[in-house]
Amino acid sequence: MTPTDVQMLLASASYYTCAIDGDPGPKTMAAVAITERNANAVSASWSKSRRLVAAGQRILNAQGFEAGHVDGYAGHNTTEALTAWRSARAGASAAVERVALAHPPEAASIPTQAECSTYYGQPGTDAIGKQLVYVTLPFDLRIDWALDQTTRRIRVHTKAADSLERALLAVFDHYGSDGMRDLGIDRFAGSYVERRMRGGTSWSMHSYGCAIDLFAAPNALRLRCPQALFCGPDYKPLLDIMQANEWLPAIRLWGSDAMHFQRARM
């Protein structure tokens, strides 16, 4: 998210009426401060660049584009929300086609996407929240959008927790800490969040607590093989291990969104 993007977002909310010039000067920052006051936010102590992104996230969320938690970091949720916002302003669709490949991986013991509401619970209600747990790992994962931060905990549905733990431990056993870091496999890009599918109206698999993302930028929602990094030979063991443990790779399900793994079949 560039300063120009933030100025356009601020202008769309009537907080900013000056030139869209990409220069976040005093008038831009005064508009940013309005969003902070309106939200009773603590972000006024953040760096200038982080305050700008946070202001953009607030406006995207307020306008229904689901940028996610306002943290001042432009991760893939923020990037996709911005893509949807730009597309809407241009009268274009940001829809992402998710048509099953000819032979998607199967796992009879897990639900189809259509069965997730019955199996995991209905998003938007207490049914999901009461069943969320943390998988705690014995190794660090770097936060994909803030690489100076790490976590060992991933929040998912209790019905998906054991298989995710097995999968990630097996990934670690195969690659080791250095191997995961060298390949970017240790870059955690998100798990549970209540939102709709990007470019669609159905609930995202993340809303059921049965999906995680890894290393977003080179495996982005709209990338397909061979462009997506995870299509490379170094990553085949990652995909195989996740699939063997019932966490199916999206790149093998519908051929894009290689960052995405879900405990649900097509």
- Alpha-carbon distance of 58 to 69, in angstroms, equals 9
pLDDT in tens, 33-68: 999 999 988 777 899 999 999 999 999 999 999 898
User: Has residue 241 got a pLDDT over 90?
Assistant: yes
Residues 254, 109: Cα–Cα separation, whole Å:
20
pLDDT band at 96 (very low <50, low <70, confident <90, very high): confident
At the topology level, CATH places domain 113-262 in Muramoyl-pentapeptide Carboxypeptidase; domain 2 (3.30.1380)
Check pLDDT > 90 for residue 225: yes
Helix (H) or strand (E) holding 35: helix 26-38
The per-residue pLDDT for 59 is 97
Q: What is the mean pLDDT of residues 83-90?
A: 94
Assigned token pair, 64:
């229904």
- DSSP symbol at 67: -
Structure tokens at 228: 């997506």
Does position 206 have pLDDT exceeding 80, yes or no? yes
Interstrand relation of 211-214 and 187-190 (parallel, antiparallel or unpaired): antiparallel
* CA-based torsion, 143, 148, 152, 155: positive or negative: negative
Asked if residue 109 lies in contact with residue 246, where contact means CB atoms within 8 angstroms, the answer is yes
For the stretch 151-200, pLDDT in tens is 999 999 999 999 999 999 999 999 999 999 999 999 999 999 998 887 77
Report d(CA 230, CA 163) in Å as an integer.
Answer: 21
Nearest Cα residue to 221 out of 110, 137, 96: 96
The rounded distance, in Å, linking the Cα atoms of 147 and 40 is 27
82 contacts 1 by C-beta, under 8 angstroms: yes
Torsion over CA of 176, 182, 183 and 187, rounded to 10 degrees?
Answer: 80
pLDDT of residue 198: 79
Q: What is the pTM of this model?
A: 0.87
Domain boundaries, the chain: 3-89, 113-262
Residue 156, beta-bridge partner list: 133
**Where does residue 12 rank: exposed (0-12), middle (13-18), buried (19+ CB within 10 A)?**
middle
Total Cβ atoms within 10 A of residue 55:
32
